[in-house]
Amino acid sequence: MRYTKLGRTGLDVSRICLGTMTFGDQNTKAEGFAQMDYAVERGINVFDTAELYAVPPKPETQGSTERIIGDWFMERGQRDKIILATKIVGRTPNTWFRDGGVSGELNRAQIHEAVDKSLRRLKTDYIDLYQLHWPDRAVSQFGSNSTIFKPTTGPENPIPEILDALDDVVKAGKVRFIGLSNESPWGTMSFLHAAETHGKPRVQSIQNAYSLVNRTFELGLAEVAMRENTGLLAYSPLAQGYLTGKYQNGALPKGSRKQLYNRLQRYETPGAQAAFDAYLGLAAQVGLDPAQMALAFVLSRPFVTAAIVGASTLDQLKTNIDAIDLTLTEELEQQINNIHLLHQNPCP
C-alpha cells in the first residue's frame, strides 16, 4: 500500500480507501467483516461510510452500514488503527433521518443530532473526517459539478452557519476534521473563505465522483484541491462497475448492483456505452485488467488523495487493491486522453 497526507491534517492515509455502502443490504454483516479484515491486512487504513448507507437509501436499512462498522470496531478492537470517515445527508425531502419525521437539512440542531447518532451506531466517541454528503443548497445535479448548468433556487442554510455548527462538534471532540462531498468549485471556495474569515474548521477533502467517464473534477476543482490542500477522495472510480466490463454486451451478473436495484442511470447516459467500449478495448489492447487500468489512472492524478473502492466480493476487492502496484506509461496515458477528447464526461 502507498500513503499520503489528508489535507493539512497531518494524517497519513492509504491511497485506496474502503467504501462500505453495500454493507447491510447487498452485503451481509459477515461479508462486511471479511472485507474490512482483508482491507486492513492489505494496508488500507481509511473506511468511508455515511449515515444514509446502506444503498439504495431506504428507511429499513438507513444506518445499517455504520452499525456493522461499529460492531467490527468492538469485536476487532482496531478503532485506533482506522481513519474513519462518515457523512451527514444534505438537504433532502426524506424524513427518516431525523427525530420527529422532519426533512433533512444542514442546520445546527440536525448536525448535532446526526453526529450523535453516527457515534452511537459506530460505537466510537470520535469521527476522524465528517463530510457533508451533498450541499444544503439547490444545485444543478446531485454531483454538483455538472456539465449542463441549470439555474436553481430553494431554501438553504448559510455556509458560515453550517461551519459554526460543525465547529461545535469539533470543539466537543466528536469530530476531528471536516470535508465536503458532491461539491462544486464555488461551494468549496465558499467554505474555505468562510473558515478563514470566521476562524472555523477548514475543509480537508472533497469526495466527488471521478473516473475515466467523469473527469469534471478537472474543470475547476483540481486546481482548488492542489492549491488549497483539499484533495479528492474519488468515489465511483469504476463507474459503478461499468469500467470493469461486467455489463458489456448486455450482461447482467447475478447479485450485481444493476441486477438487484437497477439504479445505475448515471452511467447509462447518451454516449456512455461508446466511451466504455473504447476504454475496455484499450485495456484489452495493452493487456491490462480494465478495472486496474481505470483505478491506476485515478490514482495517478496529482489532485487525488485516495480512490474509494467498494466491492461485493473479496475477489473484486483484491483486484481493486492490486491496482496500487500498476503505473501507467506516458504512452498509455496519452491513449486514455485521446479517448477522453472523443468522449468527454458522458457520465457527470
In degrees and rounded to multiples of 5, residue 346 shows phi and psi of: -70, -15
Q: Write down the pLDDT at residue 270.
A: 95
What residues contact residue 55 under an 8 Å CB cut-off, 6+ apart?
A: 21, 22, 25, 26, 261, 263
pLDDT digits (tens, 9 = 90+) for 297-328: 999 999 999 999 999 999 999 999 999 999 99
Grid coordinates standing for 224?
482548488
Q: How far, in Å, are 141, 157, 203 from residue 138 at the CA level? A: 8, 11, 20
Length of the chain: 348
pLDDT-above-90 percentage for the chain: 96
Catalytic residues: 53
Asked if the model's pLDDT at residue 147 lies above 90, the reply is no
Q: How confident is the model at residue 145 (pLDDT cuts 50, 70, 90)?
A: confident
φ/ψ of residue 139, rounded to 5: -135, 170
Could you tell me the pLDDT band of residue 143, with boundaries at 50, 70 and 90? confident
**Tens digit of each residue's pLDDT (9 = 90 or more) over 1-31:** 999 999 999 999 999 999 999 999 999 999 9
* pLDDT confidence tier of residue 137, bands split at 50, 70 and 90: very high
Cell representation of residue 14: 492509504
CATH of domain 3-342: 3.20.20.100
Q: Which three cell numbers stand for residue 128?
A: 476522524
Query: Distance of CA 231 to CAs 82, 145, 248, Å?
Result: 19, 16, 32
What 8-state DSSP symbol labels residue 342? Answer: H
Rounded to an integer, the average pLDDT of 119-126 is 98
| Residue 21 · residue 55 · CB < 8 Å | yes
